[in-house]
Each structure stands twice: as C-alpha cells, then as structure tokens.
Amino acid sequence: MASPDGLLRRRGLLAMNSRLAGDVGDRRSSMSRAGRIGRRSRIFCSAANATDTAQPRRRAAMLAIGTANPPNSMSQDEYADWYFRVTNSDHLTNLKHKLKKICKHKTPKISPSKSPKRSKSGIRKRHFYHGDDTFRDHPELAVRGAPSLDARQDILRTAVPELAAAAAARAIDEWGRPASDVTHLVFANLSGVSVPGHDLRLASLLGLRPSVQRTSMYFHGCSAAAAALRVAKDIAENNPGTARVLVACAELSLFMFRAPTPTTQRDSTLVVQALFADGAGAVIVGAGDDTDGERKVFDIMSAVQTVLPDSEGGADGQLYASGLVFQPSFKLPAMLRDRVEQCLAKGIGPLAVAAAGGGGGWNDMFWAVHPGGRAILDGVEEGLSLAPEKLEASRRVLSEYGNMSGAGLIFVLDELRRGGDLPPGGLGVMIGVGPGVSIETMLLRAPAA
C-alpha cells in the first residue's frame, strides 16, 4: 500500500486546496508553478504542525460533546431469540440459526503476534427505544410488508427529539454556557420525517432562543453527523467569534425494523437487524476567540464530501408504507478497502503530506471511523494498512452500542478524547460512510498540551 505522501505526489495533489493554504499566508501571483507547489508543501506542513500564526483562532473547533442512549439494552447473544419471538417467526428455524451465528459474540483475544480475533458482528450489546410493549401496542410493526409507516412516525415524532435533547443537554452542560448562547442548530437524522421537523421540537426542549438559525438534514444515513459537522464548520468560520453551532444527530432503528420471511436468505434483512441500534450525539462547534472558559476538544482542519468511485448500489434504501427498507451491498466492505485511500487523498489533500512526515504513513494519525460493522472497519483497516489499535475506539463503540447510524461517529469522537492517549497537537482523520456511497472526510487536530 502506497504511503499518503507518495500517493499524493503521484496525483499532483500537493498543489491543490488553496483555501487551506490561505490560512497561513499570501502567495505572489508571479510565482512559478513549480515554486507554488514547493511553497504550498511547506505551508501545509507548518499548518498541520499547529503553528498557525496569521489567524490562529479562526478555524472551527469542537468545543463540547454529548451522547445519549435509550435505557433499554440487550446483549447480542439474546437478540436472535427475541427478534424471532416478537415477529412470530420461530418456525423459520434456518433463518434463526443464521441470525444467531451473525450475532454470536466472543471476547476478542489479543495476541502480540497477530491481530485480534473478532466475532462476526463485532457487537456485544445494543440499546433500543422499542421493546415488547411496542409490538404489543402496534402489532403491524412485526408483520413483514404490513402498512406501518404511520405507527412508526407517531412513535418517532416525540422519541427522536427527546433522545437528541438528552445528548445535546450533556454537550451544553460540558460547554459551560447557557443554551440561549447557541446561535445555530444543525439537526441530522434518518428516523422519521414530520412538519415542523424534529429540529423545532429539539430547540423547544432545550430552551434555545426563538431566533436560533435552524438547518435540518435528512436521509444522509450513516454519514449524517459527519455531514452536519461539515456544515457547522462552515457556519462557524463564516461567523468567527459570534456563532456557536449545536450539531445534533439522533437515530432510532425502529424505522428500519423488518420481520423475516423465507426469502430473507437472499437479502440483507438479517444483517441490518443484527447491526443497527439507537443513540444520539451532539457537538458544540465554534470559531474565533475563546470566551467564558471554552476549551477545544478537536480543531477541524478540513472537511470534504466525496463519492466513492464506482459505488452505485453500495448503500441504498427506499421508504415504503412498511417503513424504510435499507439494502447495503455485501460488496461495500471491499469497495471501501479498495478505494478509501483514493478518497482520503482527495478529502484531506496536501495536509496528508505533513501527516506522513513521521514516517509511519496513515499510522501516524488517530482515527475516528464510522462504526458501521466489523466488516466496514476491517475494510478501512486493510485498505490503509492501519495497525489494529488505530481503529480501537471505533471497535469499542461498535461493541458496546452497535451501529447507531450517523450518531455513531460522535460516540467515537467521545471515546477518543476520553481515552487520554491522543498526542498533543496530533492529527487525526474522521470518516463517515453514507448512501451513495458518500464519504465524509474530516481532518482533525487534538488540542496542544
């Protein structure tokens, strides 16, 4: 696998991204093209090494993080029995056995001479808003193909903003300023659509001021939080010192719950039911001078969205009267393995040259990758030749919470900063993987010591 330095040099990417270079100085228009490339390489290296001198506080930063889950939790080993019971499908013994194999959890055994052995799903337990009473009160939810969208929407209309509010309240409490100081709200989710949207209900629950500027982002799937953070970065940097943006993402897997049928052997229903879970994450984003004791969690160096080449059909879904039918391709992990480095080269541009300066390539950085499943993480790890411990934060979140769609990345960021082993001023990469297949790439920097 080529190093990021070599990959970028071959593709001529050292001369791209003049906007980032503009953070650290002007360039003379009469400079030759070769001179510009050399000059920019030096500029990017100094920027990535945290020596910004021209405008050191105008770059957006994450200032606080909060997460929340519903109180109901279930071990992965118990899930198959419960799922087939509530859907009245115990007679489908072959499918039940298959789901048990997917869900079976084994504690990884780490050997110093090889990578950890991992269970098929990589999940130990998950949290859910729904439970036995949900299906007792709404039996149509447990019938494959039955019209149940109205029932799902009725549940999600209140449950989604309430879960988002729990995560946001924790982020605001950590931030240390009143909720009324939030100037912008960016809300992203996949779980249910209503008018007015979940964003207005969330603003009311939190006591945000009536003039808060709200932006809603729907159906970005597992890249939702990353996309919302990208939008928040732009808002904060366009209003330095004044804008404080609350990003919130909440997902409830009830929207995608589907009963099995004998034909389930030929689709991804069991995989989806074995992976997805419920959770919410929130982040405060701002740029400019610190006030009232704010502290940075991560600097946001750059943020880019791109489409994985030749990935049509990799992660598709359709909304029906029976709910959202999500059909991820079994080829998606291989797509990521073979093309993720190409997306990174486009996404973080010349700043990757500085990241590779330590000689370890991508392993010189810390990583927050969407915990979409063990196969997703394995594909990214293999595609970038990462050491096993580099995705440990993502694997821990997957193990303890499952795939919480877009909210999962915020849990990984929280896990990374609480781990206490980030190098001061060190660079890292956040990767969101969504429908399309869309890749959200964000270059981060840990706070200086």
Cβ atoms of 237 and 285 within 8 Å: the answer is: no
Q: For residues 210 and 173, give the distance between their C-alpha atoms in angstroms, rounded to a whole number.
A: 20
**Contacts made by residues 292-297, CB under 8 angstroms, sequence distance 24+:** 292/176, 292/177, 293/176, 294/63, 294/175, 294/176, 294/177, 295/63, 295/447, 296/61, 296/62, 296/63, 296/447, 297/61, 297/62, 297/63, 297/64, 297/65, 297/413, 297/417, 297/447
Task: Confirm if 350 and 309 have CB atoms less than 8 A apart.
Answer: no
Report yes or no: 208 and 185 within 8 Å, Cβ to Cβ. Answer: yes
Residues β-bridged to residue 190: none
**Token pair listed for 31:** 């400079």
Which among 284, 287, 307, 160 is positioned nearest to 223, based on CA atoms? 307
Closest CA to 250 of 215, 216, 213, 225: 225
Which residues are within 8 A (CB) of 26 and not within 5 positions of it... i.e. 6 or more apart?
Answer: none
The values of phi and psi at residue 332, to 5°, are -60, -45
Beta-carbon count within 10 A of 322 CB: 19
CA 350, distance to chain mean position in Å, is 23
Round to whole Å and give the CA distance between 41 and 13.
Answer: 10
For 259-327, give the DSSP string.
---GGGGGSSHHHHHHHB--EEEEEEEE-SS--TT---SEEEEEEEEEE-TT-TTSEEEEEETTEEEEE
171 exposure class (CB count in 10 Å sphere: 0-12, 13-18, 19+): buried
- Specify the DSSP element, H or E, that contains 226: helix 224-238
222 among known catalytic residues: yes
Task: Kindly give the residue spans of alpha helices, DSSP state H, lying in 87-146.
Answer: 93-103, 132-137
Tell me which of 45, 103, 222, 249 is the catalytic residue.
222
Catalytic (active-site) positions: 222
